[in-house]
Amino acid sequence: MFDGNFRKPFDAAVAPVAAVLTKTGVGPNAFTAFGIALAGGTAVLLSQGRFILALIGLAVTGFADAIDGAVAKATDSVSIAGAYFDSVADRVSDAFLFFGLSWFYVASDSPQLALLPFALYVAASLVSYQRAKAESLGFDAKGGLMERAERFIVLGVGLAFSGILTWILWLMLIATIITALMRFRKVWLQAT
């Protein structure tokens, strides 16, 4: 949903920030690596139930993830290797965040809920894989209710209002599964 409706305005809004950051001499891959490190730190906060600090960590992680591509464009260093690194980094960051949430639930009064973030990670990975595979075959698989940007935003709401975090995660899981089904149908129709 974000990619289809808000990507261009978002990229335009981030471009001036990226232009300033290029003057630091820090390259886009450094921002990508920084995002992974931030996601790891945020996972630790999540595992400890320190949700407000984790919300801040999530926001900064999201910023690092958003700015790396803009810095690459601003420095004319867009590359296939950088795009690949960014994509892999996104999966690693997602794994850290969902692992942190699983750890939190393992230590809670309802340890069986640790399966919820695990299921969410599996569904999110499927959504990501579908897009990558479809694009490698020459098809379009963008779109859906719960892409990565939406997951960050909705998870942020869950962290801000931690009393409903479990319900937010269930909502995310349902929307992510619907997204996977939507993408499957979209590519299937293109392929046939």
- Of the residues 11, 90, 109, 140, only one is catalytic, namely 90
pLDDT at 5: 59
Please give the Cα distance from 107 to 180 (Å, whole number): 30
Superfamily classification of domain 2-191? CDP-alcohol phosphotransferase transmembrane (TM) domain (1.20.120.1760)
Question: Tokens 């992680």 appear where?
Answer: 61
109 is a catalytic site residue = no
Domain boundaries, the chain: 2-191
Please give the Cα distance from 100 to 54 (Å, whole number): 10
- Can you give the pLDDT of all 192 residues of the chain as single tens digits? 655 556 677 667 776 766 667 777 778 888 899 999 999 999 999 999 999 999 999 999 998 888 888 888 877 778 899 889 999 999 999 999 999 999 999 999 999 999 999 999 999 999 999 999 999 999 999 989 999 989 999 999 999 999 999 999 999 999 999 999 999 999 999 998
Rounded to 10 degrees, the C-alpha dihedral 30/136/151/34 comes to -10
